[in-house]
């Protein structure tokens, strides 16, 4: 399962989360101790990484920057048709997902 970051009200894959951290650090705006997540807000600097695609959700999650599926545990699905994200989910999750979301 994929590790994720939480940043500006979005989930980011590990690659995008680390890139955001590196960009903010290079701009000199990182918190003094990123390991102490109580000292900053996720709007300012990514929090994480968190395991299992961000945890259990009602539907598959994807990265808010690159749309990569996050491989989170799905407990219930909702129908989302006609979106690029759905195509990513279908490619990543395969046949069981297709049966769930057939339109």
pLDDT value for 97? 56
- Better pLDDT: 96 or 25: 25
Residue carrying the six token digits 């759905």: 86
The answer as to whether 15 is a domain residue is: yes
The answer as to whether 26 is a domain residue is: yes
The answer as to whether 41 is a domain residue is: yes
pLDDT value for 80? 52
Domains identified in the chain, total number: 1
The answer as to whether 95 is a domain residue is: no
Q: What is the pLDDT of residues 32-91, one digit of tens each?
A: 999 999 999 999 999 999 998 888 777 778 899 999 888 887 655 545 555 677 777 777
Q: List the domain range (segments joined by +) for residue 37.
A: 4-74
Quick one: pLDDT band at residue 16, thresholds 50, 70, 90?
A: very high
57 burial level (CB within 10 Å; 0-12, 13-18, 19+):
middle
Taking the CA atoms of residue 17, residue 61, residue 86 and residue 97 in that order, the dihedral angle to the nearest 10 degrees is: 130
The Cα 97–Cα 103 span in angstroms is 12
Angle at alpha carbon of residue 3, lines to 47 and 89, rounded to 5°? 115
What is the pTM (predicted TM-score) of this model?
0.72
């Amino acid at each position: 399962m994929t590790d994720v970051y939480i940043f500006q009200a979005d989930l980011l894959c590990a690659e995008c989360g680390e890139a955001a951290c590196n960009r903010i650090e290079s701009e000199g705006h990182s918190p003094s101790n990123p390991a102490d997540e109580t000292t900053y807000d996720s709007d300012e600097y990514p929090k994480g990484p968190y395991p299992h695609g961000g945890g259990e959700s009602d539907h598959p999650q994807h990265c808010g920057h690159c749309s990569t599926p996050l491989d989170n545990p799905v407990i219930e699905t909702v129908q989302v048709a006609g979106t690029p994200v759905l195509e990513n989910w279908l490619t990543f999750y395969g046949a069981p997902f297709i049966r769930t979301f057939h339109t």
